[in-house]
Structure 1
């Protein structure tokens, strides 16, 4: 993969989606029409899930001595911890975080950006990461892909 095909940073894609949804809410407010207690509970649970999953994934990266940067050079193929359940736990966590903010902000617009974030991550980040990992780890990566789903 050439250097000019670098992936955008996932937190920036998250922030762009959050701001787009929030901005659309200013132009035309669109709530979820869910009871506040339900919205707050779901939003808090999604944000807690993000913190737990994201923290676990970052600890796993650090323990393996490799980088979570999608443009960085992987020094290890992570297949345990959260990576035993999802090949992309950080991106799953970012998506849950965005949904959590949508619930807490009572913004259907922010919630509608969650599939946009997933699409952007799939096309602009994950596809490139997978190509690099396949080239670097070969059959071990292919076996991992057969065993663990991309998201959940």
Structure 2
């Protein structure tokens, strides 16, 4: 395993010297569904169901301020997370190999602040816009992301960062 990793790293360095932006296939996190697609499809389905089925209508408009605050908190978490990626000159994109394990900022409190922030934005928007199905779909999206993205991602990061990621997992919870 160690010898294989060394060869992969040498290939990746050569690839980057040639101007490649994406990691070679053996260095890419292999996931079946991209998180933005999961969230996007769930929002689309919730909007379609809300439009066509009147019995899904709710009256939670009195919760608009709470929903709005949840959306703002989600935006804040995502912006804070993305600033950390820029600061450490690495990318959250699955086709790019992480250059550093980020453990500060929002990553000090959650191992998945980008997924959490996006969930909060969709969940809060569902409440603020009186579309309860959107908030429910955000919960289902988070469950799908947990099993089909986060678990493989954590295995990948353990392989990539070894004991550093293992120790990080012991100190920081997956969500909060």
Does the TM-score normalized on the shorter chain lie above 0.5?
yes
Q: Is the 2:75–2:118 contact (alpha carbons within 8 Å) kept by the matching residues of 1?
A: no
The structure with the largest alpha-carbon Rg is 2
Q: Which residue is equivalent to 1:52? A: 76
Which residue is 1:106 aligned to?
130
Between the aligned partners of 1:28 and 1:99, the Cα distance in structure 2 is: 20
TM-score (norm 1): 0.90
Q: Does residue 1:31 correspond to 2:57, yes or no?
A: yes
1:5 is paired with a residue whose SS is coil
Change over 3 Å in CA distance of 1:119–1:139 after alignment to 2: same
- Bigger relative contact order (CA 8 A; separation at least 6): 1
The answer as to whether partners of 2:33 and 2:148 remain within 8 angstroms in 1 is yes
**TM-score, normalised on structure 2?**
0.78
User: What is residue 18 of structure 2 aligned with on the other side?
Assistant: none
Distance 1:4 1:133, change over 3 A: closer
User: How far apart, CA to CA, are the structure 1 residues paired with 2:118 and 2:175?
Assistant: 12
Three-state SS of the structure 1 residue aligned to 2:162 is helix
Query: Which structure 2 residues correspond to residues 88-99 of structure 1 after superposition, within 5 A?
Result: 88-99=112-123
2:45 to 20, 24, 27: 20
On the 8 A contact 2:64/2:127 being kept in 1, the answer is yes
Offset of 1:4 from its aligned partner? 9.0
RMSD between aligned alpha carbons?
A: 1.8
Secondary structure, counterpart of 1:47 in structure 2: helix
Q: 1:66 is paired with a residue of what secondary structure?
A: coil
**What per-residue deviation string (whole Å, max 9, x for no partner) do you get for residues 50-76 of structure 1?**
111000000001111111113320110
Aligned to 2:93, the other structure's residue is in SS state: coil
> How many pairs does the alignment contain?
150
**Counterpart secondary structure, 2:101:** coil
Measure, in 2, the Cα distance between the counterparts of 1:8 and 1:49: 26
1:141 is the counterpart of 2:162: no
CA shift for structure 1 position 7: 4.4
